[in-house]
Amino acid sequence: MLKRISALALAGLTALAMAGCGGGGGSTSAQSGGGGDSSITMGFSQVGAESGWRTANTKSVQESAKEAGITLKFSDAQQKQENQIKAIRSYIQQKVDIIAFSPVVESGWDTVLKEAKDAKIPVILTDRAVDSKDTTLYKTFLGSDFVEEGKKAGNWLVEEFKDTKDTVNIVELQGTTGSAPANDRKSGFQEVIGADPKFKIVASQTGDFTRAKGKEVMEAFLKSTPDIDVLYAHNDDMGLGAIEAIEGAGKVPGKDIKIVTVDAVKDGMQALADGKINYIVECSPLLGPQLMDLAKKVVKNETVPARVITEETAFDQEQAKTALPNRKY
């Protein structure tokens, strides 16, 4: 008796669940059909909240979506690819108009992007690229050009030392080994300074993009290489750590050792304005407005370039003083 009741109950539950599925599917399709003409719904999957840069990136996307009148469905992947794939699948099920995401890693996206394509939902990559061979899987990639950032840093150096005949000894603090920004900022920089043999990288080591490591590595550099003219750090934070090491060694950062970094976060800009850093190449997280423009164009079926570079600049000490009060991150 009991068995039969439970079997009945189970059958009932199953039927209910199936009905729920059907109902859900019906209602979402009705929703997207109704809202398709005016308002756009965007599903955005963020990497996480691992740095101030990333937080500023998230804020920019959220704020500019509100301004552009785009409904944003936001999810935080907490640095995990499987979370991002889950989020993208749920966006596909919810039939959003467009999906945007910053891939945690470069590979392994083909299947889920194919699903989005089959569901006719366009995808925009932000900030980081994927290595899929099939470039029709996404509409465009909006983000910084890290190689270009390295080149900008190199160009400044060439300009700064154009009157010098002697060897210029450079030490480099690299980002996390193997990460795209570290690889590209290194190669872009080398490409520019490699043209002139007077520029010599005497030591290069990873500082993991952190202040603590930047300081520790710089301390070691200061002792093992007595004659350092220039420090090139792949981000502001490592540069800020290195500044403390340089001061501890009784040298003046920005004068005895010239410093060029990448990112332009608020603390870095402060140091630049204070004369402790000489030049910062911007790597802007504020790509929200550009993303919303692209999204509108893509939804209207207008053609967009396959690669859009974030609007970025670079700062010297004077420019930093004027830009600092408005710095958001």
Question: Token pair of 55, please?
Answer: 């937080």
Among 181, 241, 253, 285, binds other proteins (CB under 8 A): 241
H helices of the chain, in order, are 2-35, 52-68, 81-93, 110-118, 146-160, 180-193, 211-224, 236-248, 266-273, 288-299, 317-323
Rounded distance between C-alpha atoms, residue 209 and residue 23, angstroms: 49
Among the residue ranges 15-23, 192-200, 247-255, 277-285, the one whose residues contact other proteins (CB under 8 A):
247-255
Report yes or no: 222 and 253 within 8 Å, Cβ to Cβ.
Answer: no
Angle CA(152)–CA(156)–CA(157) in degrees, nearest 5?
115
Min dist CB 249 to other proteins, Å, is: 7
Min dist CB 300 to other proteins, Å, is: 35
Among the residue ranges 14-22, 101-109, 223-231, 319-327, the one whose residues contact other proteins (CB under 8 A):
223-231
Min dist CB 202 to other proteins, Å, is: 9
**Contacting other proteins within 168-187 (CB under 8 A):** 174, 177-178
Which among 151, 158, 143, 161 has a CA at the least distance from the CA of 187? Answer: 151
Rounded distance between C-alpha atoms, residue 1 and residue 305, angstroms: 68
- 55 near other proteins (CB under 8 A): yes
Which among 171, 227, 241, 175 has a CA at the least distance from the CA of 203? Answer: 171
Rounded distance between C-alpha atoms, residue 300 and residue 279, angstroms: 41
- 248 near other proteins (CB under 8 A): yes
Which among 320, 316, 238 has a CA at the least distance from the CA of 278? Answer: 316
Nearer to other proteins by Cβ, of 148 and 216: the residue is 216
Give the H or E element holding residue 232: strand 230-233
Among 28, 35, 52, 179, binds other proteins (CB under 8 A): 52
Min dist CB 96 to other proteins, Å, is: 26
Among 180, 249, 299, 309, binds other proteins (CB under 8 A): 249
Rounded distance between C-alpha atoms, residue 304 and residue 327, angstroms: 30
Question: Token pair of 148, please?
Answer: 């270009």
| Window 69-108: contact mask with other proteins (x via CB under 8 A) | ----------------------------------------
**Contacting other proteins within 255-274 (CB under 8 A):** 267
Among 120, 162, 226, 300, binds other proteins (CB under 8 A): 226
Among the residue ranges 83-91, 132-140, 187-195, 222-230, the one whose residues contact other proteins (CB under 8 A):
222-230
State CA 118 to chain mean position distance: 27
- 281 near other proteins (CB under 8 A): no
Residues that bind other proteins (CB under 8 A): 49-52, 54-55, 174, 177-178, 203-206, 208-212, 215-217, 219-221, 223-224, 226, 237, 240-241, 244, 248-250, 267
